[in-house]
Structure 1
Amino acid sequence: MRADARKNRDHLLAVAGTAIAEHGVDVSLRDIARRADVGLATLLRHFPTREALLEALLHTSFGELTAKAGELETSSSPEDALVSWLRDCTAWTTEYRGVTVLMAAAIEDTESALHASCVTLRAAGARLLTRAQAAGMARTDIDGADLFALVAALAWIGDQPSLAPRADHLFDVVASAILTSAASSDAEGTRGVNHDR
Structure 2
Amino acid sequence: MVRADAQRNRAKVLRVAIEAFAADGLAVPVHEIARRAGVGTGTVSRHFPTKESLFQAIVSARVEHLVERARALEAGEDPAEAFFAFFAAMAAEGALDRGLADALTGAGFDIDAAAEATGLDLNGHFDRLLTAAQAAGEVRADVDFADVKALLAGCLARERTAADPAARDRLIAVVRTGLRPESHP
**TM-score interval for Structure 1 and Structure 2 normalised by the shorter chain:** 0.7 to 0.9
Q: Please, which moves more after superposition, 68-77 or 174-183? A: 174-183
Residue 179 of structure 1, CA deviation: 2.5
Match of 2:129 in 1: 128
Residue 41 of structure 1, CA deviation: 1.0
Give the direction of change, closer, same or farther, for the CA distance of 1:165–1:82 in structure 2 (3 Å limit): same
SS at match of 2:27: coil
Match of 1:2 in 2: 2
Matched, 1:115 2:113: yes
Report percent identity of matched pairs: 33
Give the direction of change, closer, same or farther, for the CA distance of 1:139–1:19 in structure 2 (3 Å limit): same
Letter in 1 for 2:2: R
Match of 1:95 in 2: 96
Residue 12 of structure 1, CA deviation: 1.2
Residue 120 of structure 1, CA deviation: 1.9
- Taking the aligned partners of 2:133 and 2:144, their CA distance within structure 1 comes to 11
- Taking the aligned partners of 1:181 and 1:164, their CA distance within structure 2 comes to 29
Provide, for residues 165-191 of structure 1, a one-character-per-residue CA deviation record: whole Å limited to 9, x for no partner. 4221111101221223565x4xxxxxx
Matched, 1:142 2:143: yes
User: Aligned runs of 1:40-51 on 2, under 5 Å?
Assistant: 40-51=41-52
What TM-score do the two structures reach when normalised by structure 1?
Answer: 0.79
Match of 1:194 in 2: none
Match of 2:29 in 1: 28
> CA RMSD for the aligned pairs?
2.6
What TM-score do the two structures reach when normalised by structure 2?
Answer: 0.84
CA contact (8 A) 1:51 1:113 kept: no
Give the direction of change, closer, same or farther, for the CA distance of 1:113–1:169 in structure 2 (3 Å limit): closer
Give the direction of change, closer, same or farther, for the CA distance of 1:25–1:76 in structure 2 (3 Å limit): farther
Residue 96 of structure 1, CA deviation: 2.4
CA contact (8 A) 2:70 2:125 kept: yes
Match of 2:55 in 1: 54
CA contact (8 A) 1:125 1:147 kept: no
Residue 142 of structure 1, CA deviation: 1.6
Give the direction of change, closer, same or farther, for the CA distance of 1:154–1:113 in structure 2 (3 Å limit): closer
Match of 1:177 in 2: 178
SS at match of 1:88: helix
Provide, for residues 2-21 of structure 1, a one-character-per-residue CA deviation record: whole Å limited to 9, x for no partner. 37344432221111111122
Residue 76 of structure 1, CA deviation: 4.0
Higher RCO (C-alpha 8 Å, min separation 6) = 2
Q: Which runs of 5+ in 2 are unaligned?
A: none
Q: Which runs of 5+ in 1 are unaligned?
A: 186-197
- Taking the aligned partners of 1:181 and 1:9, their CA distance within structure 2 comes to 53
SS at match of 2:98: coil
Structure 1 runs of 4+ with >6 Å offset: none
Q: Please, which moves more after superposition, 139-148 or 5-14? A: 5-14
Residue 122 of structure 1, CA deviation: 1.3
Q: Give the total of aligned pairs.
A: 181
